[in-house]
Amino acid sequence: MRRSSRLGALMVVIGGILSGCATSPPVATTSDAPRTVSLLHPASGESVSVTYWRPGQGYDPRAMAEVNGIFRDRRTGDTTPIDPRLIDYLVELRDRLGVGEETPIHLTSGYRTQATNAALSRSNPNVAEHSYHIRGQALDFRIPGVAPQRVAEAAAGMQRGGYAAYGHTGHVHIDTGPFRTWTPKGGDGKPYDGIQEARATPPKPAALAPKAEPPKVEVAQAPKPVEAPKPAEPRVAEARPAPAPAAKPAPGKAGDADLARVRMVLVNLSAQDAPARDKRVTR
């Protein structure tokens, strides 16, 4: 009988555990006290203070809806269900540091849409390409009066999930992924050290290609008109006075003189031949 009772009680316990795993994320803390969180978004001044878990009731849907609201993507206004274990991680971390639950934790970055995360990764090498912020499993925050390095050391001791202190901005990142850490890149340009989560590589500025000169367009020019050869100018013969015709001897002057000469020659000849003729006659 006692054995049967013990077996029945054990089955009830097992059934309760299985039921709890099916309806809500596993409890991240061993405390049975109600869990309260106070959050402030410094840029907008929006704040939330809620008791999000109670013994015997689990996570309060209404309180978690308020948490989802303050965690929303501030660029797009979109929300997503925030992992309750992330809030448990934050609350236990706060308690380990001795900070009262009434002290508002400054939430600087909660949920991010893929588009917002991609836009941030182009200008910030610390933004992971496959960030847990996209899944609603990460937050960046500050606790007033507590140094970021001290918060990171407390997170390291918890071994609850990912964590890193960003000294150059003064905030701490925690997430519900595997336990790991990394050294963020600061303004000194030093390379990353330690274990790193997957992160987007900042795009390298494209090498400026030399500006291509616009192709020279040769304008087709009309062929120059071929000049027709100029007609040779007709040579104008200089008007020269025609040679004067040879002067003909005037009739009755030169001709008569010649005839006279001929006659004289003939007379002379006749005179020379006369004695001869006379000699021939006398014998």
Report yes or no: 51 and 33 within 8 Å, Cβ to Cβ.
no
Instruction: Report d(CA 194, CA 166) in Å as an integer.
Output: 14
Give the pLDDT score at 128: 73
Cα 176 from Cα 112, distance rounded (Å): 15
Binned at pLDDT 50, 70 and 90, residue 165 comes out as very high
- The mean-pLDDT minimum among 76-90, 179-193, 235-249 falls in 235-249
Query: For 242-254, what is each residue's pLDDT tens digit?
Result: 555 555 545 555 5
Task: Say how many residues make up the chain.
Answer: 283
CB 29 within 8 A of CB 39: no
Listed residue (103, 106, 67, 116) closest to 87, CA to CA: 67
The reported pLDDT for the residue numbered 214 is 57
Rounded Cα gap, residues 126 and 136, in angstroms: 18
Give the C-alpha distances (Å, rounded to integers) separating 259 from 263, 264, 265, 269, 270.
Answer: 6, 9, 10, 15, 16
* pLDDT at 203 (0 to 100): 44
Find the mean pLDDT for residues 48-76: 97
pLDDT in tens, 90-118: 999 999 999 999 999 999 999 999 999 89
Q: Which two tokens stand for residue 94?
A: 């706060």
Dig out the tokens for 104 from the structure. Answer: 């508002």
Min mean pLDDT across 174-183, 197-206, 213-222 is at 197-206
Distance CA 34, CA 251 (A): 174
Residue 11: per-residue pLDDT: 44
Q: Domains (ranges, CATH) in the chain? A: 34-181 (3.30.1380)
Per-residue model confidence (pLDDT) at position 63: 98
